[in-house]
Structure 1
Amino acid sequence: MYDFNKIIDRTGSGDLKHEVLLERYGRADLLPLWVADMDFETPTFITEALRHRLDHSLFGYTVEPKNYWPTVQQWLHDHHQWNVELEWLSFIPGIVKGIGMVINIFTQPGDKVIIQPPVYHPFRLTPQGNGREVVYNPLKENADGSYSMDFDNLAQVADDKCKVLILSNPHNPAGIVWDKATLARLADFCYDHHILVVSDEIHCDMALWGNKHLPFAMASEKAAQCSITFGAPSKTFNIAGIVSSYAIVPNDTLRQKFYSWLTANELNEPTLFAPIATIAAFQQGEAWRKAMLHYVEQNILFVEDYCRQHMLQIKPLRPQASFLVWLNCRQLGLTHDQLVDLFVNHAHLALNDGEMFGQGGEGFMRMNVATPRAILQQALHQLWKALQ
């Protein structure tokens, strides 16, 4: 029904994945498996909804469609059993932008922000760019390659100046679906220490192999009262270029402070296409989502099998969510520069290097496997040849 093997020529579309290779990697002849969008065509029901609006050739000021937020509410209820009140919801113009807003509204210069590396690099760059100190609470790497939160370290590094903790849930780059006990324990700590948790849940609709995402705010009542959650249909339905993010804030005091600022600056008003794409995705997208996730699971198994058969020194960590595979390349015994050189100049691949994600990322590469299998096979073959 859906053809995920179809190879899409993105030439001329201005896509980030291809257009900045020379600038970021020093050469343009690379197979790009880095930035976290998919090489699958955006599903036709979204394209058709946008095209239907384009047929009315007047693009003036618009209001939110009446079924916009009820559609989001229904999706959250159906997929995460989360009964979100209408007033808890607001549009935001992007999740990283939302993090920047939270930092400016809820912290002052001199305050600190906690992150849990290895983790999505804007969690570090955004606070730093806003003049805040970043405090590191690194994840513990377990013997089997999985990760756990280090609560002993958290207690050591968190002081009175720590005002915000940015949580990756599910975790990027390791693909962890955090369990309820972990999230509730984190909520207890942050609530008791007056630390606001910003939970980035952009990969929440991409749990794999029967894993179940738990929204942070559902872990406990304390979690609901000390958190702001960010979500979007953009990763799941490959519409990152249509900014469609939203915030969920159950606590009245936090919500009033955050949303009154958004309203004053008109940052809570979605662009024309955001609600249209969101409604189409959440009302018509379930069959496509399931088919896409099944294809991604098969791609992950393909990577695992290929490494087992041809490249035993590279160990993929199987993600519990998302289309990003965290490749442990430490057995190659290469320095950071040598590892990057191997992938870029010998294998002609563009991946995200692990050091980008901070402490604990050394010796890793992050591979985006949301691509037609033929491209994935070509990429792995190029890596295998480079290792020879």
Structure 2
Amino acid sequence: MNRKFDFDTPVNRRGTGSYKWDIVKEDDVLPMWVADMDFQTAPAIINALKKRVEHGVFGYTQVPENYYNAIINWFERRHNWHIQRDWILYTSGVVPAMSCVLKAITLPGEKVLVQTPVYNCFFSSIKNNGCEVIENQLVRQGNTYIIDYNDFEQKCADEKTTVFLLCNPHNPSGRVWRKEELAKMNEICMKHGVKVISDEIHCELTMPGYTYTPFAAVNENCLNNSVTLNSPSKSFNTAGLQIANIICNNIILRRKIDRAININEVCDVNPFGPIALEAAYNDSDEWLDELKEYLYDNYITLKKFFETNLPNLKVIHLEGTYLVWVDISETGLSSEEAEEKLLKEGKVLINSGTMYGQKAGEGYLRINIACPKRTLLYGLERIKKVFVNL
């Protein structure tokens, strides 16, 4: 396939302060864990940042009006979601945004509902705000997951449950929630007075045949009962530039959230984050479309490799994200035993499923496939070496 952009050439990230690559000191360990990509970001972003660096002065930053226009136009163009300027509050990241919204709309001792297995920072953000995690465990059905709506409603009906923290698309199950699923979850939430916080950081990263639906764009009820968190960071590999947005149409709720952002001192951003967002949303559609094709090809490569070489590893169907959820229960190893064995014997770092829920994640691993194909194949061979005789 002829591509305009290069995703095949490896970029040496060691010694750059990379959390993904430099946290493990052994040079022979291959990291396939934390959710950032091993690709250079879109050329338009690099060029915009170079221009800003050449200016040479990096003082306190005011976010310009063009920043808001870029967000509004992107979600209108790509996702048919009509955002108004006043709905947008910027901050330094989706996790700080999550914590600020939780501070604004919950009280210590209340319960926050999550769907496990789920992104590990959901647990820490909830607990750090003095709230209790309550789980609606997703149900494995064949090679995918579905929602147990009876259990979901039972958990929402608990008088202490005030917030549902949604992951859309879902990390690590790989589900891209359908419009009717989102509407049904909100219907249950509204019935029981539960607000929805929707983390949509992976929103652009869908596989062929799947369409991301913003929770707030489903219908008026979803819009009025929710707060959306998003960022270009996952899709354009710009997490280190620290920029994210909270989108909320409710003015009273938005004022509380804005107050929480200021109280927690995450109201200022660096000079590069807004510039990167504008370049991503204004000038990088083509790069993103090619990236998604490359990620899908990597997913198919991994799936075929396991089917051929390690049929006891069952790959959960990937609808979105670049994080593959793999059932390793037939190996006889626990998730943490497998993680340790892969690191010691295979020199490959992969996340234990229990990071995403002790019960819901047991028997699984999460593998990051956002890397050049040769790197992926290298990692798969290391996994094979460890698991082939189990």
TM-score, with length taken from structure 1: 0.95
Unpaired stretches in structure 2, ≥5 consecutive residues: none
Match of 1:121 in 2: 120
In structure 1, what is the Cα distance between the partners aligned to 2:265 and 2:378? 46
Q: What is the DSSP-based 3-state SS (H/G/I as helix, E as strand, rest coil) of the residue aligned with 2:83?
A: coil
Give the equivalent residue in structure 1 for 2:186: 187
> 2:353·2:363 contact (CA, 8 Å) conserved in 1?
yes
Q: CA deviation at 1:41?
A: 1.0
Distance 1:59 1:335, change over 3 A: closer
What is the match of residue 149 of structure 1? Answer: 147
Matched, 1:13 2:16: yes
SS in 2 for 1:182: helix
Matches of 1:265 and 1:326, distance apart in 2: 34
- C-alpha deviations, 1:144-175, integer Å up to 9, x for none? 12111111112222311111111000000011
> Which residue of the partner structure matches residue 373 of structure 1?
373
Report deviation, 1:271.
Answer: 2.2
SS at 2:198 equivalent = strand
Q: What is the alpha-carbon distance in structure 1 between the residues aligned to residue 290 and residue 14 of structure 2?
A: 26
SS of 2:90's equivalent in the other structure is: strand
Equivalent position of 1:304 in the other structure: 303
Matched-pair contact (CA < 8 Å) for 2:143–2:317 = no
Secondary structure of residue in 2 paired with 1:42: coil
In the alignment, is residue 4 of structure 1 matched against residue 7 of structure 2? yes
Question: Deviations along 1:198-230, whole A, 9 cap, x unmatched?
Answer: 100001011111311001112222111111000
User: 3-state SS of the aligned residue for 2:65?
Assistant: coil
Which range is displaced more, 268-277 or 110-119? 268-277
Question: In 2, distance between residues paired with 1:177 and 1:237?
Answer: 19
CA distance in 2 between counterparts of 1:371 and 1:70 reads 31
The question of 1:249 aligning with 2:252 is answered no
Gaps of 5+ in 1: none
**Does the Cα contact within 8 Å between 1:105 and 1:258 map onto a contact in 2?**
yes
Displacement, 1:103? 1.8
Look up the match of 1:162: 161
Query: Partner residue of 2:364?
Result: 364
Alpha-carbon shift at residue 66 of structure 1 (Å): 2.7
Supply the AA of the counterpart residue of 1:14: G
TM-aligned CA deviation for residue 28 of structure 1:
5.8
The aligned runs of 1:190-229 (5 Å cut-off) are 190-229=189-228
For residue 248 of structure 1, report the CA deviation from its aligned partner: 0.7
Quick check: 2:230–2:245 contact (8 Å CA) kept in 1?
A: yes
> Percent sequence identity over matched residues?
34
| Contact persistence 2:100–2:260 (CA under 8 A) | no
CA contact (8 A) 1:88 1:248 kept: yes
SS in 2 for 1:113: strand
Q: In the aligned structure 2, how far is the partner of 1:336 from the partner of 1:263?
A: 40
Residue pair 1:336, 1:363 contacting (<8 A) in 2 also = yes
Do 2:15 and 2:22's aligned partners in 1 also have CA atoms closer than 8 Å? Answer: no
- Give the match's secondary structure for 2:97: helix
For normalisation by structure 2, the TM-score amounts to 0.94
Q: 1:335 to 1:215 in 2, by over 3 A?
A: same
Do 2:226 and 2:248's aligned partners in 1 also have CA atoms closer than 8 Å?
yes
Distance 1:200 1:295, change over 3 A: same
1:235 is aligned to 2:234: yes
Could you tell me how far apart the structure 2 residues matched to 1:167 and 1:252 are? 21
Show the counterpart of 1:347: 346
The whole-number CA distance in structure 2 between the counterparts of 1:283 and 1:44 is 12
State the match for 2:171 in structure 1. Answer: 172
More displaced 10-residue stretch of structure 1: 331-340 or 356-365 = 331-340
Task: Identify the range of structure 1 (164-173 vs 106-115) with the bigger mean alpha-carbon deviation.
Answer: 106-115
Counterpart contact for 1:187–1:220, Cα < 8 Å: no
Q: Is the Cα contact below 8 Å between 1:316 and 1:327 reproduced in 2?
A: yes
Q: Which amino acid aligns with 2:135?
A: Y
Contact (CA 8 Å) 1:92, 1:270: kept in 2 or not? Answer: yes
Distance 1:341 1:56, change over 3 A: closer
Q: Deviations over 1:303-354 (max 9, x none)?
A: 0110111110011123111111111111112233432233212222101110
Q: 1:266 to 1:131 in 2, by over 3 A?
A: closer
Q: CA deviation at 1:264?
A: 6.3
CA distance in 1, matches of 2:319, 2:335: 27
Q: How many residues align?
A: 383
How far the C-alpha of 1:95 sits from its partner, in A, is 0.9
2:279 corresponds to 1:276? no
Secondary structure, aligned partner of 2:55? coil
The 8 Å contact of residues 109 and 132 in structure 1, kept in 2 or not, is answered as: yes
Deviations 1:219-272 (A, max 9, x none): 222111111000111111110100121011022322232124435666344321
Deviations 1:37-60 (A, max 9, x none): 000112222111111011112222
Correspondence for 1:97: 96
Letter in 1 for 2:386: A
